[in-house]
């Protein structure tokens, strides 16, 4: 299993059963298009399987988020020495 997973909510849960809406909420997703990063585990994989038609999953290799590392590089470049 990958160390971390990035889960992105891609499709609205309107018209789907309430347990699928609750699973989206339990994953930490609040808005369509939002992404969250979670530690990989068997229970998490089960939740993702339940709503696999509504989300997109990307496996991360344990490195910090690329968005965070890009921001820190930009901040380091703009800070005066």
Tokens representing residue 59 in the block: 């496996």
Question: How many residues in the chain?
Answer: 81
How many angstroms separate the CA atoms of 26 and 64, rounded?
23
Closest CA to 4 of 57, 43, 75: 57
Predicted structure pTM score: 0.72
Domains of the chain: 4-78 (3.30.1390.20)
**One pLDDT digit (tens) per residue for the chain, 81 residues:** 679 999 999 999 999 999 999 999 999 999 999 999 999 999 999 999 999 999 999 999 865 555 554 555 555 566 665
CB 7 within 8 A of CB 27: yes
User: Phi first, then psi: what are they for 17, rounded to 5°?
Assistant: -60, 155
């Amino acid at each position: 299993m990958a160390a971390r997973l990035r889960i992105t909510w891609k499709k609205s849960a309107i018209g789907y059963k309430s347990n699928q809406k609750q699973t989206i909420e339990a994953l930490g997703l609040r808005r369509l298009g939002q992404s969250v990063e979670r530690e990989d585990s068997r229970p998490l994989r089960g939740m993702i399987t339940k709503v696999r038609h509504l989300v997109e999953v990307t496996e991360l290799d344990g490195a910090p988020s690329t968005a965070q590392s890009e921001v820190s590089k930009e901040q380091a470049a703009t800070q005066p020495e």
